[in-house]
Structure 1
């Protein structure tokens, strides 16, 4: 089975988490955390900064490692390294996604998440409220 290794940004602003809707492919219209594939020679953190710059024209701070999700999709096995992040620049532009939303913890179930991202949602729910909001 093909193996794909990616990174995902759980971008926080206040008490909200940023979610994006896929605008292409087999999983079109499903929701995910932004990110993408790690290129040869990149650290996961470097890949995440590059991917968010490409996908959202935004600069982020990669703050804390959250989790690694291993998930078997029908055509491939996914390894997804997830990081809590914050915005360095406020403006976000959807270069690849169909839509985006800022969701509170209580609103996370209001969108149809990709299966692997559902595991990340569970990790987010387990976080202490002060950590998800970025309060020291």
Structure 2
């Protein structure tokens, strides 16, 4: 039996004023051009919070402090199953640099759905909108 690979992944919800950080994947990457909350794969023995802080440093060269858990979503992409855990980021230090993404935008909840989101991130976007109302 061919069992799909399960991947544990984190997503950062970074809020500045009433806007949230949305990151666009490079065209050359998997899910190229889609928008996501930044984050990445949890390494063996790593907590989701430590993973997010490491990933945000690798992706944007910022120091981040992970905060409260928002929600998680499991999505079957066909070739793999992604379990995405979303956390709020309490604080960031440093200037955002695009090291792995094509673009970033800071959007409010009423415009955030205008983007073409990666399927695993979409339920998290919807939960964020529900929580802000």
TM tier, shorter chain?
over 0.9
Runs of 4+ in 1 over 4 A off after TM superposition: none
TM-score (ref. length: structure 2): 0.92
Q: Would you say 1:10 and 2:10 are equivalent positions?
A: no
Contact map agreement 2:13 2:37 (CA 8 A) in 1: yes
RMSD of the TM alignment (CA)? 1.2
> How many angstroms apart in 2 are the aligned matches of 1:84 and 1:126?
15
CA deviations 1:27-69 (Å, max 9, x no partner) are 1111000000111111110010000000010111212100011
Aligned-residue offset at 1:26: 3.6
TM-score (ref. length: structure 1): 0.90
Q: Would you say 1:28 and 2:32 are equivalent positions?
A: yes
Aligned-residue offset at 1:90: 4.3
The runs of 5 or more residues in structure 2 that have no matched partner are none
Q: Would you say 1:120 and 2:120 are equivalent positions?
A: no
The runs of 5 or more residues in structure 1 that have no matched partner are 130-136
Higher helix proportion (structure 1 or 2): 1
- Count of paired positions: 129
Contact map agreement 1:13 1:86 (CA 8 A) in 2: no
